[in-house]
Amino acid sequence: MSDYKHPYRDALFVLNELVDFDKLCAEHGFADANLELVSAIFDEAGKLGSEVLAPLNRVGDTQGVSLTEKGVQETAGFAEAYHQFQESGWPSLTAPEAFGGQNLPNVVGTAVNEIWHSANLSFALCPMLTQGAIESILHHGSDALKEAYLSRLVSGEWTGTMNLTEPDAGSDLAAVKTRAVPNGDHYLITGQKIFITWGDHQMTDNIIHLVLARLPDAPFGVKGISLFIVPKFLPDGSRNDAQCVSLEHKLGIHGSPTCVMSFGDKGGAIGYLVGEAHKGLAYMFTMMNHARQGVGLQGLSIAERSYQQALQYAKDRLQGTNKDGSRYPIIKFPDIRRMLMVMKSATEAMRALALVSAAEIDRAHGSEGEAAQTHQNRVELLTPIVKGWLTELAQEITYLGTQIHGGMGFIEETGSAQHYRDARILTIYEGTTGIQALDLVGRKTLVNKGEHLASLLEEIGQTLSALEASGQFPVQAKALRASLADGQAARQLLLDKSAEDAALAGSISVNYMMLFGYLCGGWLMSQAALKAQALLEANSGDPAFLNAKLTTSRFYAEHLLTRTGSLLAVIQAGSASILALPEDQF
């Protein structure tokens, strides 16, 4: 069992010092928001997370969910927790006021979501998917659909699901086979969807499924898929022809029901077209940045939870013996300390990148013209890094969390193993690491000839100049200088060589993405050091926290940022040995 406490100090530090939150609010249409308000929000969300959601995390893992006659039965206690969550208004955080939302910036939603995911990843998936449904309807639905569904999704009275994947259509959604046939003012949907997170449960009166399906006259491939709303219960109260027919048995997130959804077993589920026909996939793409950053954030959250648990264990577990026979805790061992420092510094870097990227979404939405485009380009560039790098790093962090526990880490009752298992899905769903990496090398680098990346590297260069100018951070400056050069070299290599070697981009992509992840982390941890130093010199803030930030920044530079060197070496090896063996040798 572990307690969870929201690391509000670090979150507030990132918002204030790296995101420049109050300025963002003033400039981008969030006049009501400021850091003081966010601090009050953190207090209450932190309480709910620690006291209500976190204690259910292990219950969800051990008890899981079941399929009964009335549908999916969620873990005992989840419904009460959900009602408390819902009645406290948390689902409404970022939604527009017109539909009962609080219209707070996306970066606040992200920072608060960190709490829910850390406290209980399985539980938090439910509102996360609802958020996806809200955005689909908000951006693409007709006024009538908005009127009918949005307020109750925003209030959390109803939850939402995203039905994309089919047995034969995973990463390749163009292969979707689910059919939609016009039938008066609605459509009849028939087909099967898999991997539907929180596809059914008993916590709310209704569930709104967003479903990708093909119209009879649809063109082949990606341009023939439409998006439909399929409610579990129809406006007249009758049960729609859509149900969960099976639950997956999974490695982790046992408290989150992963459903096989069957539509139209009794003739067709009634669905309503969202937006225009054949544009379903395009609509999904507009939500993709948000959704992928959301999963990246889960990587941060599970890493934080794993760190807190390992830290507590390292302080409690007595395994060293002093000369006088008294014993001391394992946190005194340098290698345990090293692992804790990797966890702590990486988690801080992850939080910085997650929030800075989330704030770019706000800046893109809140700006006009060229400025909006510049911010949008940054969002597009950072999104695969946030999703890919944060979730990959979460694997290492949760691995270390278990490692610190020694033998007890391998024992389920300890709780560390759950984080390790729960983290595993994160590099897979919402686009695998491979998909993220392909996105980064392809659409996000090659398509714009590396310009968007160049502008990021230039900004990192400015931070490097500031580091060098301050003269107080030689370690960080040296590491960032080397790592920035690695990034520039990787970018140049991709731009120069991908024309002559068609397999290059795909071969180097994951290492390329990881390189830029570490580099972005180093960039923000360097900024954090500069800001912390300035605050210390101004005698402002908590010196213990700020000094710790200087240390984690240095540790990150020495232990994590330096990884870009070996990643570059692998990238430079190119595709040759990857593809050299003929297939029949495998």
- Residue 55 Cβ, how far from another protein at the closest point, in Å? 8
The CA distance from 55 to 53, in Å, is 6
Instruction: CB nearer to another protein: give 87 or 168.
Output: 87
Torsions phi, psi for 518 (to 5 deg):
-60, -40
Instruction: CB nearer to another protein: give 335 or 413.
Output: 413
Provide the pairing of β-strand 242-247 with 258-263: antiparallel
Instruction: CB nearer to another protein: give 144 or 544.
Output: 544
- Residue 106 Cβ, how far from another protein at the closest point, in Å? 15
DSSP at 240: P
- Residue 516 Cβ, how far from another protein at the closest point, in Å? 35
CB-based contacts of 69, cutoff 8 Å, min separation 6: none
Q: Which residues partner with 158 through β-bridges? A: 206
For the question of residue 430 being annotated catalytic, the response is: yes
The CA distance from 529 to 535, in Å, is 10
Instruction: CB nearer to another protein: give 179 or 317.
Output: 317
| DSSP run (H or E) holding 231 | strand 225-231
- Residue 34 Cβ, how far from another protein at the closest point, in Å? 9
Provide the pairing of β-strand 242-247 with 327-329: unpaired
The CA distance from 62 to 412, in Å, is 9
Of 340, 353, 373, 265, the C-alpha closest to 551 is 340
Instruction: CB nearer to another protein: give 50 or 575.
Output: 50
Give the length of the chain.
586
Instruction: CB nearer to another protein: give 5 or 365.
Output: 5
Instruction: CB nearer to another protein: give 544 or 581.
Output: 544
205: left (phi over 0), alpha (psi -120 to 50) or beta: alpha
Residue 449 tokens read as 């000839």
CB-based contacts of 460, cutoff 8 Å, min separation 6: 480, 484, 487, 519, 520, 523
Of 540, 536, 491, the C-alpha closest to 515 is 491
Note the helical H segments in 405-473: 416-423, 433-441, 451-470
- Residue 542 Cβ, how far from another protein at the closest point, in Å? 4
Instruction: CB nearer to another protein: give 289 or 402.
Output: 402
3-state helix, strand, coil in the chain (%, to 5): 65, 15, 25
Strands (E), 344-407: none
Residue 363 tokens read as 């800046």
Binding site for another protein (CB under 8 A): 5, 32, 37, 39-41, 43-44, 47-48, 84, 87-90, 92-93, 102, 316-318, 542-545
Question: Contact, 517 vs 389, CB < 8 A?
Answer: yes
- Residue 222 Cβ, how far from another protein at the closest point, in Å? 38
- Residue 117 Cβ, how far from another protein at the closest point, in Å? 17
Residues 65, 66, 69: CA angle, nearest 5 degrees: 145
- Residue 131 Cβ, how far from another protein at the closest point, in Å? 14
The CA distance from 58 to 49, in Å, is 14
- Residue 546 Cβ, how far from another protein at the closest point, in Å? 10
Q: Return the SS3 of 54.
A: helix
Q: Which residues partner with 193 through β-bridges? A: 261
The CA distance from 466 to 457, in Å, is 14
Instruction: CB nearer to another protein: give 248 or 542.
Output: 542
Instruction: CB nearer to another protein: give 89 or 450.
Output: 89
In one-letter notation, the amino acid at residue 374 is: T
CB atoms under 10 Å from CB of 174, counted, come to 12
Q: Return the SS3 of 285.
A: helix
CA max distance for the chain: 85
- Residue 52 Cβ, how far from another protein at the closest point, in Å? 8
Instruction: CB nearer to another protein: give 233 or 545.
Output: 545
CB atoms under 10 Å from CB of 580, counted, come to 8
- Residue 7 Cβ, how far from another protein at the closest point, in Å? 11
Indicate which residue of 17, 114, 380, 430 is catalytic.
430
61: left (phi over 0), alpha (psi -120 to 50) or beta: alpha
Helix 504-537 × helix 433-441 angle, to 10°:
90
Catalytic residues: 430
